[in-house]
Amino acid sequence: MKTYYYSLLQPILFLPQITNADMNPVTNGALKSKKTSKKPEYSRFTQQELPAWKPILTPGWVITSFLAIAFLFIPIGLVSLFASERVVEIVYRYDQDCVPEMYRGNVSAYIRNSLTNKTCIGNITVPKKMDPPIFVYYQLDNFYQNHRRYVKSRSDKQLRSAAYESSTKECEPEARFNKSGDPVPIVPCGLIAWSLFNDTYNLIKKDKVLNINKKGIAWKSDTKVKFGSNVYPKNFQSNDLIGGGKLNESIPLSKQEDLIVWMRTAALPTFRKLYGKINTSLEAHDTITVVLENNYNTYSFGGQKKLVLSTTSWIGGKNDFLGIAYLTVGGICLFMALNFILLYVFKPRPLGDPSYLSWNRKAVN
Amino acid sequence: MAKGITAKLLRSSLYTLTNIRTKPSYKKEAAATEELSGYPRVININQPAVPDDTQQPPIFCTNYVSTTKYTLFNFLPIALFEQFNRVANFYFLVAAGLTFTDYAPFDWPSQVVPLALVVGFSLAKELYEDLQRHWQDMTANCQKAAVHVKNGGFETKQWREVCVGDIVKVKKDEFFPADLLLLQSSYEDGMSYVETMNLDGETNLKVKRALQNLSLPAAVDDDKASHFSDFLATIRCENPNSNLYTFTGNLEYNGHIYPLDPAQLLLRDSKLRNTEFVYGVVVFTGNDTKVMQNTTQSPSKRSEIELQMDKIIYLLFGLLIFISIVSASGFGLAVRNTIRSWWYLVPEIPGEDFDINNFVASGLRHLVTALMLYGYLVPISLYVSIEAVKILQARFINNDLHLYDEVTGVPANARTSNLNEQLGQVDTILSDKTGTLTCNQMDFLKCSIAGCPYGKRPSEVELAAAKQMAAQDESSDGSLSDSSSLEAITVTDDGNINKKASSIKGFSFQDDRLEHTNWLKEPNSDVILLFFRILAVCHSAIPEISEKTGELTYEAESPDEGAFLVAAREFGFQFIKRTQNSVVVKERLKKDQEPVEKEYSILTLLDFTSKRKRMSVILRDESGQLLMFCKGADTIIFDRLASNGKTYLEATTKNLNDYGEAGLRTLALAYKKLEEKEYSDWHEKFHNAQISSGSNREELLEELSDEMERGLTLVGATAVEDKLQNGVPECIDRLALAGLKIWVLTGDKMETAINIGFSCSLLRQGMKQLCIVVSAEMLAEAAKDVVKENILSQITTSMQSIQNKKEPHAAFALIIDGKTLTYALEDDMKFKFLNLAVNCASVICCRVSPKQKALVVRLVKEGTGRTTLGIGDGANDVGMIKEADIGIGISGVEGMQAVMASDFSIAQFRFLERLLIVHGHWCYKRISKMICYFFYKNITLALTLFYFEAETGFSGQMHYDDWYMLLYNVFLTSCPVLALGVLEKDICAEFCLQFPALYQQGPKNLFFDWYRIIGWLANGVYASFVIYLVNIRIFSPESFRKEGQTADMYVIGTAMFTSIIWVVNVQIFLVSHYLTSVQLHTIWGSIVVWYLIVYIYGLMPVQWSAGNIYQQLPEVLGPAYKFYLSTVFVTILCNLPYLIHISYQRCYNPEDHHVLQEMKNMKKDVTDRKMWKREQVKATQETEIGLSARVDARMRMKGKTTRKYSSLAYSSS
CATH code: domain of residue B863: 3.40.50.1000
Average pLDDT over residues B580-598: 79
Contacts of A42 in chain B (CB under 8 A): 401
Strand order from edge to edge, sheet including B154-158: B154-158, B144-148, B167-171, B277-284, B179-185, B265-266
User: B1182: domain range?
Assistant: 1162-1191
Q: How far is B13 from chain A (nearest CA, A)?
A: 35
| A277 DSSP β-pair partners | A135, A213
Q: Is the peptide bond before A100 cis (omega within 30 degrees of 0)?
A: no
Residues B268 and B179 in one domain: yes
Alpha-carbon separation of residue B993 from A23, B399, B737, B960 (angstroms): 26, 19, 10, 48
CATH of the domain at B637: 3.40.1110
**CB distance A274–B1045 less than 8 Å?**
yes
Who wins on pLDDT, B1179 or A20?
B1179
Number of residues assigned to chain A: 365
Examine the domain organization and report whether B519 and B662 are in the same domain.
yes
B233 plus B276 within the same structural domain = yes
Q: Is residue B1212 part of a domain?
A: no
- Contact (CB, 8 A) for B1043 and A316: no
* Residue B505 annotated in ligand binding: no
Do B401 and A135 count as a contact with CB atoms less than 8 A apart? Answer: no
B1153 and B1084 in a single domain? The answer is yes
Local structure of B755: helix, strand or coil: helix
A62-82 in b/e form (b: 16+ CB < 10 A) is: bbebbbebbebbbebbebbbe
Residue with the larger pLDDT of the pair A129 and B1165: A129
Residue B622 in any domain: the answer is no
Same domain? B785 vs B650: no
pLDDT at B475: 52
Q: Does A317 touch chain B (CB under 8 A)?
A: yes
B1140 contact residues in A (CB cutoff 8 A): 336
**B877 assigned binding-site residue:** yes
Classify residue B983: in a domain, yes or no. Answer: yes
pLDDT of residue B1017: 93
Where does residue B811 rank: exposed (0-12), middle (13-18), buried (19+ CB within 10 A)? Answer: buried
Is B747 annotated among the ligand-binding residues?
A: yes
pLDDT value for B979: 92
Q: Are B716 and B765 contained in the same domain? A: no
If one compares B483 and B670, the residue with the highest pLDDT of the two is: B670
Give CA–CA dist B928/B934, Å, rounded.
Answer: 10
Q: Report the residue from A133, A241, A269 with minimal CB separation from B951.
A: A269
Distance from CA of A80 to the nearest CA of B (A): 10
User: Same structural domain for residues B825 and B931?
Assistant: no
Please give the pLDDT value at position B219.
Answer: 65
Confidence tier at A3 by pLDDT (50, 70, 90): very low
On whether any CB of chain B is under 8 Å from the CB of A301, the answer is yes
Active-site annotation holds for B432: yes
Chain B residue closest in CA terms to A297: B343
The tens digit of pLDDT for each residue in B103-118 reads 777 777 777 888 888 8
The distance of B544 to chain A (nearest Cα, Å) reads 33
Write out pLDDT tens, residues A77-93: 999 999 999 999 999 99
pLDDT beyond 90 at B4: no
Burial B840-871 (b: 16+ CB within 10 A, else e): bbbbbbbbbbbbbbbbbbbbbbeebebbbbbb
Q: Long-range pairs for B584-593 at CB < 8 Å and ≥24 separation?
A: B585/B533, B585/B536, B585/B537, B587/B533, B587/B536, B588/B517, B589/B517, B589/B520, B589/B529, B590/B517, B590/B520, B591/B516, B591/B517, B591/B520
Q: Is B631 within any annotated ligand binding site?
A: yes
Regarding whether B931 and B868 lie in a shared domain, the answer is: no
pLDDT digits (tens, 9 = 90+) for B215-231: 677 666 666 677 777 77
Which residue of B lies nearest to A266 if distances are taken between CA atoms?
B1048
Flag if A147 and B1046 touch (Cβ within 8 Å): no
Residue of B nearest to A220 (CA): B1115
Q: Same domain for B1141 and B995?
A: yes
Prior bond of B850 cis (ω within 30°):
no
In a domain, residue B731? The reply is yes
Cβ–Cβ of B1077/A268 closer than 8 Å?
no
Q: What is the distance in angstroms between the Cα of A115 and the nearest Cα belonging to chain B?
A: 20
Which value, in Å, is the radius of gyration of the alpha carbons in chain A?
Answer: 33
Is there a contact between B1039 and A135 if contact means CB atoms under 8 Å apart?
yes
Average pLDDT over residues B1128-1140: 94
pLDDT tens sequence across B246-261: 787 888 887 777 777 7
Output the pLDDT for position B927. 92
Sheet-wide strand order for B271-273: B205-209, B191-195, B271-273
Alpha-carbon distance B311 to B318, whole Å?
A: 10
Residue A311: pLDDT band with limits 50, 70, 90: very high
CA distance B1022 to A66: 20
Identify which of A39, A62, A351 has the shortest CB distance to residue B409: A39
Domain closes at, from B1161, B1180, B1204: B1161
Query: What CATH number does residue B203 fall under?
Result: 2.70.150.10
Task: Tell which wins on pLDDT, B551 or B122.
Answer: B122
Whether residue A7 has pLDDT greater than 50: no
Residue B367 to residue B359: CA distance in whole angstroms: 12
Are the C-beta atoms of B881 and B440 separated by less than 8 Å?
no
Non-local CB neighbours of B462 within 8 Å, separated by 6+ positions = B662, B663, B1205, B1208
Whether residue B656 contacts residue B668, with contact meaning beta carbons closer than 8 Å, is answered with: yes
Q: Among all residues of chain B, which has the CA nearest to that of A271?
A: B1037
Chain B residues whose beta carbon lies within 8 Å of the beta carbon of residue A46 = 395-396, 399-400
Q: Pairing state of beta strands B426-431 and B741-745?
A: parallel
Give chain B positions within 8 Å (CB) of A318. 1038
ipTM of the complex as predicted: 0.90
CA atoms within 13 A on the CB side of B459: 30
Give the best-scoring range by mean pLDDT among B687-696, B877-886, B1104-1113.
B877-886
Integer Cα distance of B199 and B190 in angstroms: 23
Chain A residues whose CB is inside 8 A of the B1076 CB are 11, 50-53
Of B925, B1187, B853, the closest CA to residue B1071 belongs to B925
Q: Which of B839, B865, B884 is the last residue of a domain?
A: B884
Using pLDDT thresholds of 50, 70 and 90, give the confidence band for residue A21.
Answer: very low
Using CB atoms, which residue from A265, A340, A352 is nearest to B1049? A265
Tell me the shortest Cα–Cα distance from B491 to chain A, in angstroms.
20
Assess whether B1138 and B1184 both reside in one domain: no
Of B353, B951, B1150, the CB nearest to A268: B951
Question: In whole numbers, what is the pLDDT of chain B averaged over residues?
Answer: 80
B383 domain residue, yes or no: no
pLDDT (average), residues B404-433:
86
B871 and B930 in a single domain? The answer is no
Domain count, chain B: 5
The verdict on residue B530 lying in a domain is yes
Angle between helix axes B1010-1035 and B304-333 (nearest 10 degrees) is: 40
Picking from B712, B706, B668, the residue whose alpha carbon sits closest to that of residue B535 is B668
Domain contains B280: yes
Which of A54, A267, A316 is the closest to B1041 by Cβ?
A: A316
Taking residues B942-950, report their average pLDDT. 92
B273 Cβ contact partners less than 8 Å away, ≥ 6 residues apart: B172, B173, B193, B194, B195, B205, B555
Length in residues, chain B: 1213
Q: What is the DSSP letter of B894?
A: S
- The confidence band for A273, taking pLDDT boundaries of 50, 70 and 90, is very high
pLDDT the model gives residue B625? 85
Q: Name which of A316, A269, A320 is nearest A135 in CA terms.
A: A316
Q: Tell me, what's the pLDDT at A11?
A: 45
**Catalytic entry in B432, B560, B903, B1192:** B432
**Listed residue (B188, B334, B103) closest to B956, CA to CA:** B103
- Least confident range of A36-45, B52-61, B880-889: B52-61
pLDDT value of position B547: 66
Q: Given the DSSP bridges, would you call strands B812-817 and B768-772 parallel, antiparallel or unpaired? A: parallel
Q: Which residues of B touch A325 (CB under 8 A)?
A: 1030, 1034, 1129, 1133
Mutation target to probe the A interface, by most A beta carbons within 10 A, among B405, B1038, B1071, B1164 is B1038
Q: Which of A142-151, A352-361, B482-491, B823-832 has the lowest mean pLDDT?
A: B482-491
pLDDT at A338: 94
3-state SS string for chain A: CHHHHHHHHHHHHCCCCCCCHHHCHHHHHHHHHCCCCCCCCCCCCCCCCCCEECCCCCHHHHHHHHHHHHHHHHHHHHHHHHHHHHCCEEEEECCCCCCCHHHCCCHHHHHHCCCCCCEEEEEEECCCCECCCEEEEEEECCCCCCCHHHHHCCCHHHHHCHHHCCCCHHHCCCCEEEECCEEEECECCCHHHHCCCCCEEEEEECCEEECEECCCCCCHHHHHHHCCCCCCCECCCCCCCCCCCCCCCCCCHHHCHHHHHHHCCCCCCCEEEEEEEECCCECCCCEEEEEEECCCCCCCCCCCEEEEEECCECCECCCHHHHHHHHHHHHHHHHHHHHHHHHHHHCCCCCCCHHHCHHHHHHHC
pTM for this entry: 0.80
Is B716 a domain residue?
yes
Q: By percentage, how much of chain B surpasses pLDDT 90? A: 13
B813 and B937 co-located in one domain: no
Contact A267 B1073 (CB under 8 A): no
Q: Does A151 touch chain B (CB under 8 A)?
A: yes
Assign B1029 a pLDDT band (cuts: 50, 70, 90).
very high
Binned at pLDDT 50, 70 and 90, residue B895 comes out as: low
* Domain end position, chosen among B679, B694, B721: B721
